[in-house]
Every structure is written in C-alpha cells, then in structure tokens.
Amino acid sequence: MTKQFNLVRIGTSLFPILLVLGFCCCSQNSMKPQSRLMSLDERSGKISTGMTKAEVKKILEAPDNHDNEIVWMWAELRNDGQTNAWNDMCSEPGLFVLFQNGKVITPLLNNMESNPWESLSGFTGCTKKQAEEILGPRPKIVNP
C-alpha cells in the first residue's frame, strides 16, 4: 500500500511541474515574434547613420520585405517564405529603418509609433508630398 501511495504522491507532485513546463513551452512559442522584435531592438543601438545595407544586415538580419531599396521592415508576424511589400506590412506591429543612396538615414523605428513617410520627411527635410513621390502613396485605410 505504501508503494502505491508513494507513486500517487510522486505523480501529484510532478503534475504542477509538468503543467508549468507545458505552459512555458506554449508561451515561448507564442512569444517568438515579439522576442524577435525585442532582439532586433536590443541590437539597434549598434546601427548608426551612414552605415551600408551590408553592415546593417550583419547586425540585425535581412528585412522581411522584398522591396528593400529605401525601407527595410521587420514584422512581428513574419510569414516565412513569403515575399512581402513593406507598405503592406507597415500597418502591422514591426520595426523599420530607412536608407538613402544605400546608407542608413534613420535609427530603427517602431512602425506603431511612426511610419516611413513621416520618417523620410523628418530625417531628410523633404515634404510629405515628396516622401509620397519617393515611397509611393500611403495605403488607404478603409473602415468597414
């Protein structure tokens, strides 16, 4: 009887531990996009104006967008294997940096706090209209 009782005690003692481990594993997988952006943000202090795209890529990683001449963007929810246009990603949580003539002109910015058009205008002194001519028009937000 004591062996059976000990097995039950051991089982009930391990259950909370296994439950916590399972929760941590599930939570860790759901946090990967956010932790990816946090990791990029932590490394962003090494980015400075005038750096080349190759230098930025060594510090951060390749951007998630395929149209990366001026805007490099990293989305919170990246679709691996899919090529994304940055202007399709700019309304989602993520980070971006701008280049002019192949050189960094902005720090790593959060696209929930700023957007490429305002940032290009602010960091280069161009007008908002000129920023739209350079980057293309802003996506129209349609309310359902």
Distance of CA 48 to the CA centre of its chain: 18
Q: Which residue has the higher pLDDT, 1 or 43?
A: 43
Q: Does the domain made of 33-135 have the CATH classification 3.30.1450?
A: yes
pTM beyond 0.75: no
- In eight-state DSSP terms, residue 80 is T
Give the separation between CA 123 and CA 106, rounded to whole angstroms.
7
Q: Among residues 72, 97, 99, which one has the least CA distance to residue 85? A: 72
Domain ranges of the chain: 33-135
Give the separation between CA 34 and CA 94, rounded to whole angstroms.
9
Q: What is the pLDDT of residues 58-111, one digit of tens each?
A: 999 999 998 899 999 998 876 666 668 888 888 888 999 999 999 999 999 998
